[in-house]
Amino acid sequence: MRIGFAGLGAIGTPMAARCAAVHQLAVWNRTAERATEFAKATPGSRQAISPRDLAEGADAIITCLPTSAQVEALLEGPDGLLAGMTQGSILVDCTSGDAATSRRIAERLATLGIAFVDAPLSGGPPLAIQGKLTVMCGGSPADVERATQVVAPFAAKVVRMGPVGAGHAMKAANNALLAANILTLAEALVTLAKAGIAPRDAVDVLNASSGRSFVSEVLIPDRVLSGTWPRLFRMALLEKDIGIFHDLAGEVGVADPVLGFSREQCRALRAALGESADYLDPIRVAEQAAGVELRG
């Protein structure tokens, strides 16, 4: 296929590289230098000079941006995606976005005979590199089937969650739970360390018990106990996602006191730590407040 890929961030770059190994790929990024470097380093790819150039002649467009608002902003204008996209093509949006904006985008594209699927991801850059991401799709069965072929180079699991917006809802719930796990494990582990329990022993027992989670099984051993702290996902984006979940809960009339509190904690941490903070930095904050380090 001829694919246009917009958004060469931490996860978008390995996704695009896997697409380039299979398809004819054009790339565009808001910071043009990143697209220039990618095209030079990646056989089978070229740099597009505008969203319109990205879309011209493409069978499918993949967007992977921080917010749905940024995806919507790429559509219009003489150099926008819609100036280049053709009837019968498809836009697969891998942004961790919001359902309301995606429904609006889908309606706009439908008038032009262009399909739309929201297709947010789970797995992060490490699984993107391996082509093992989980993709949560919202769209018609036929459109999701088409999108499955588009995302195949970087996806191990593709699930249709429901109509347009359902993928974003699922991703928001996933990341709300991720945030709550980070916050609660930070509190639990620094408490145990302060009580004299070795962090490695505490994590080993948790991971053989009912309190385990992806955070305790993978993130804390690989990044916290090791002291490596790689910066792979911004706290600001996690806070944005848990905010989307909170808004969704209000939309459907469900109380979310626990995750709502987690959202307030994330908002406070984002304000205190700044926009460049990593999503595991709340554990650093807990360490500093308790005067312990979780290493071992």
Would you list the DSSP string of 60-82? EEEE--S-HHHHHHTTSSTTSGG
Long-range CB pairs of 68-74, under 8 A, 24+ apart, other chains included? 68/93, 68/95, 68/97, 68/98, 68/101, 68/102, 68/105, 68/168, 69/101, 70/95, 71/95, 71/97, 71/101, 71/105, 72/101, 72/104, 72/105, 74/6
3-state secondary structure 11-31: CHHHHHHHHHCCCEEEEECCC
| Residue 171 falls in the annotated catalytic set | yes
Longest CA span, the chain: 65
Angle between helical axes of 199-206 and 166-194 (0-180°, round to 10): 140
- Give the active site residue among 132, 171, 194, 240: 171
Report residue 65 CA to chain centroid gap: 9
The DSSP symbol for 1 reads -
Instruction: Choose among 175, 171, 166, 122: nearest CA to 143.
Output: 166
Q: Beta strand 155-162 with 133-138: parallel, antiparallel or unpaired?
A: parallel
Measured from the Cβ of residue 35, the count of other Cβ atoms closer than 10 Å reads: 25
The DSSP symbol for 278 reads B
What's the rounded Cα separation, in Å, for the pair 239 and 254?
20
Catalytic positions:
171
